Amino acid sequence: MNQRNFFAELKRRNVYKVAVAYAIVGWLLVQVATQVFPFFEIPNWAVRLIVLAIVIGFPIALVIAWAFELTPEGIKRTEDADRATEKRGKPYAWIYVVAVGAVLSIGLFFLGRYSTGNYAASRSAFEELRRDKQSEAAPSIPQKSIAVLPFENLSDDKNAAYFADGIQDEILTKLASIADLKVISRTSTAKYKSKPEDLKTVSQQLGVATVLEGSVQKATDKVRVNVQLIDARADSHLWAKSYDRDIKDVFAVESEVAQEIADSLQARLSPAEASTLMKAPTADTAAYDLFLKGEFELRVANTSLKAEAFDQAAAWYQQATARDPNFALAYAKLVECRLNRHWFVQTLTDAELAEVKGIAEHALKLAPDLAEGHVSLGIFYYYGYRDYGKALDEFNRAIQLQPNNAPAIEYSGYVHRRQGQWQRCLEELSKALQIDPRSADVAGNLGQTYGLLRMWKDAERVSRHAVSLDPYDVIGMRALLLAILNGKGDINEAQSVVATFPPDNKIIIMSIAGDVGSVTGERAYSFVMVRNFESALKVWDNVGNAPADDRRQAAARSAIRVIAGDFAGAKADAEKAVRLLEDRLRQQPNELVSIRQLSWSYLALKRNRDALKSARQLVELLPPEKDALLGAANLAGLAQIEAHTGATADAVAILRRLLSLPAGESVSIARLKIDPVWDPIRHDPGFQQLLTTQEHVGP
């Protein structure tokens, strides 16, 4: 068959017609898939499958067109169909099929081209409606993002959970040093199970594309580590590996896993970051085991704020450094542990602070590029001496070394808050919450900051979130309670909320030693607000055995009775408190919390001049110009003492000033109206005029 006859035969057998019709109908199907499927949220792979099927089907259709013909009597071989056609004449139905298909294809093409904007707007509105049903709109999830979930402890010894936690933590720490990755902090991942049932929800809550699941089985000198990297958005496995090693090789496993993850996520590593992945914190596995026990206990202490938990954590760290004197990370975490105890439980002496500084500097001498070492030294400058400039220098260096270091970003926010740089504080705490989205501590502090700025709705929203993450988080509880009392002035709601808090928590934070609430604790003061003084006193029936507990109990009870007007009943507690506190201040002359407690104990004994002197000393030691957070609280505390000692005009002047500052934790119009601490000056014309004053709101 020559070429001319071949093309003539193609025409005679309707192959051309079928090709044209197939192309038109295929184009129509592609238009339908691309324009309609997205509206119903049909995934893109379905569109690709249709296009592939159309391409594969084209040659098949041409072969069938050569051999067969579609007739009114059904499908026949072409030769038989030709004989029948000669009797009936040529059918033209195919022309209508092609024409209709062409019209529909063109219509869909132009519909898709010129209605894209309307469709996008409609889809956007739909997405917005769906997001409104959620608590907050989820940010876009970067491809290079990961959360390392808690590792399951498969050891026969169930007390070895701390070891599995440590493996997880070390892998996470190595990944946090990679600037090209978004790595979620351990505080947030700790809220989940080792193998969550709904990884897509985990992905949305943490804002990550991938998660690492794992398990650890430890037996004498052997360890087995199983890990699997999962695309959390699709809930599909990317890879899984098992490592059976001697216990001494566990550090190599951590490095290998971190490197494997970095490779899988195509993260760009600098030479310094690549070196960090390969480093081991210590060569002594026994020291490492002791260190992991300290890490476990420090997490307990940071939540409970109990002295004994901090002391146990410190003991583990000290044992670790005794075994390995070059264990820089253990020294750094020992510093953090002791400073947290200093800030939240009981102040260290100057000699003890000097010792802690020496430990921090020794850690950095051993490992100058240890991010945790710079964080611990930054905390020393912040908590130890409120040297905010040096503290920020250390936190910034930690962030340079480890871009995903949530504590360094978090502490930077706290320092800027003390400096009165409110917008920077909000930005940094929000950023820390992105890296550590399930951290009740960060959320509680962000809620507290909104409260200081009198942004009450935000304060309540974020504080409720903090308490939902951890019902035992003291900062979140306190921030929520103050948002309700100071923002709404709703005593009944405040009482209902307090009833949901753990009953053994007095909601007292020793680092905030400003007004009378810091003396009584916020739980007790919630009863004072409704003038239920007996219930307020019962909060302090049970305390610990430490000397600080005795001082705290006696001062709190005497302050409660002063507000109740029961000076006779306050006498015994006040005399005890004065004796203990004066002795303490001979050892620690500038301990803020003891000075505040002493001012109320003096007041209970009607030693008004001494009460005023102590309250003024606090303001001199830490005025608002030096500390925007605690300085304002100290001013409020002075105004309260003045209100109870007849210095009414001075008290009103301070309150007027505080209403013009971000001091919402201490003073708000709603709180002034209901707080019984102001009863001695409530009917003063100057005080009444304050209730109509415009108060400062926002950064």
Over residues 546-576, the pLDDT tens digits come to 788 899 999 999 999 999 999 999 999 999 9
- In whole angstroms, give the CA distance from residue 149 to residue 269: 23
For the stretch 296-355, pLDDT in tens is 899 888 877 788 999 999 999 999 999 999 999 999 999 999 999 998 888 898 999 999
Q: State pLDDT tens for residues 603-650.
A: 999 999 999 999 999 999 999 999 999 999 999 999 999 999 999 999
Cβ atoms of 423 and 453 within 8 Å: the answer is no
Q: Identity (one letter) of the amino acid at 462?
A: V
Three-state SS string over 337-354 comes to HHHHHHHHCCCCCHHHHH
Q: What pLDDT score does 296 carry?
A: 86
How far the first Cα of the chain sits from its last, in Å, is: 89
Range of weakest confidence among 36-50, 288-302, 406-420, 685-699: 36-50
**Residue 209 contacts residue 231 (beta carbons within 8 Å):** yes
Give CA–CA dist 39/52, Å, rounded: 21
Domain spans in the chain, listed from the N-terminal domain onward: 3-131, 145-280, 286-402, 506-690
Contact (Cβ atoms closer than 8 angstroms) between residue 621 and residue 650: no
Q: Structure tokens of 84? A: 């029948």
Does residue 530 surpass a pLDDT of 60? yes
In the predicted model, what is the mean pLDDT of residues 124-134? 39
Is the pLDDT at 677 greater than 90? The verdict is yes
Q: Which fold has domain 506-690?
A: 1.25.40
Structure tokens given for 678: 């102001």
Report helix, strand and coil shares of the chain as percent, to nearest 5. 70, 5, 25
- One fold for 286-402 and 506-690: yes
Instruction: Tell me the CATH class for 286-402.
Output: mainly alpha
Determine whether domain 145-280 maps to CATH 1.10.357.10.
no
Q: Which of 668, 610, 609, 677 is nearest to 643 (CA)?
A: 677
Among candidates 602, 601, 640, which has minimal Cα distance to 619?
A: 640
- Per residue in 354-364, is it b (16+ CB within 10 Å) or e — as a string? eebbebbbbbb
DSSP state letter for 382: I
Q: Spell out the alpha helix ranges (H) of 37-190.
A: 44-67, 78-88, 93-114, 116-132, 161-176, 186-189
Whether the CB-CB separation of 328 and 292 falls below 8 Å is answered with no
Reported as half-sphere exposure (CB side, CA atoms, 13 A), residue 12 has a value of 13
> Which stretch of DSSP H or E encloses residue 76?
strand 74-77
Upper half-sphere CA count for residue 490 (Cβ side, 13 Å): 14
Task: Look at the alpha carbons of 636, 638, 640, 643 in this order and tell me if their dihedral is positive or negative.
Answer: negative
Whole-angstrom Cα distance, residue 219 to residue 367? 31
Distance CA 416, CA 559 (A): 32
Strands annotated E in 158-284: 182-183, 210-219, 222-231, 236-246
For residue 101, pLDDT over 80 is answered with: no
Q: What is the pLDDT of residues 154-210, one digit of tens each?
A: 877 766 677 777 778 778 778 878 888 888 877 777 767 667 767 788 888 888 888
Q: Tokens 């000397």, residue?
A: 547
